[in-house]
Copies of this chain bind each other. A is one copy, B any other.
Amino acid sequence: MAQPAATTLLVWTRLLHAADLAGQHCADALRNVGLPPPEWYDVLLALERGGAQRPRDLQAALGKEQYALSRLVDRMVKARLLARTPCPTDARGHTLTLTIEGLAMRAAMWPVYAEAIERALGARVDEEDRAALARLLAPLAEPLGA
């Protein structure tokens, strides 16, 4: 059995705790003003940047499970932020497009989201440390090899 080093365990607890705090803070900030959760923002942004996309592309881009994305899209379609249109080249799937309301929602969410990120991260770590963190976290944000 591989016994992790003390620093490994320290990084472990702090990484999970920090991510939980930051994520929770953002989710709360959005909820407190009656806006949808962060994951909705990610979908809206991906579609705005990348144009119409199919569910499986979004799934890969966002790193979500297939069923999770399927139901997330369901909710967002019900909320009139997305529209499903038949896919011309593959009758199994469909393409997802932003509605006007979806575009407006992303714009409305960003200031709140940005402010929360700034408070949770930017205001607590100076530029030099942020650069160091970004560099050190890079390998950990890559998928683990088999």
Interface residue ranges, A against B (CB under 8 Å): 1-5, 7-23, 25, 63, 111, 114-115, 117-122, 124-125, 127, 129-134, 136-141, 143-144
Contacts and interface: CB of A to CB of B under 8 A. Distances in A.
A119 B1 CA distance: 11
Given A127-B7, A133-B11, A136-B133, A118 B22 contact: no
B134 A14 contact: yes
Contact of A139 (B125, B132, B139, B140): B125
Contacts of A124: 139-140, 144
Contact of A121 (B1, B3, B12): B12
- 8 closest A-B pairs by beta carbon, nearest first, are A19-B19, A18-B140, A14-B137, A8-B122, A7-B130, A1-B111, A2-B118, A14-B141
26 contacts: A2-B115, A4-B114, A4-B117, A4-B118, A11-B121, A11-B130, A11-B133, A12-B117, A14-B134, A15-B137, A16-B19, A16-B22, A17-B63, A18-B137, A20-B63, A21-B140, A21-B141, A120-B144, A121-B140, A124-B139, A124-B144, A125-B136, A125-B140, A132-B132, A133-B133, A136-B136
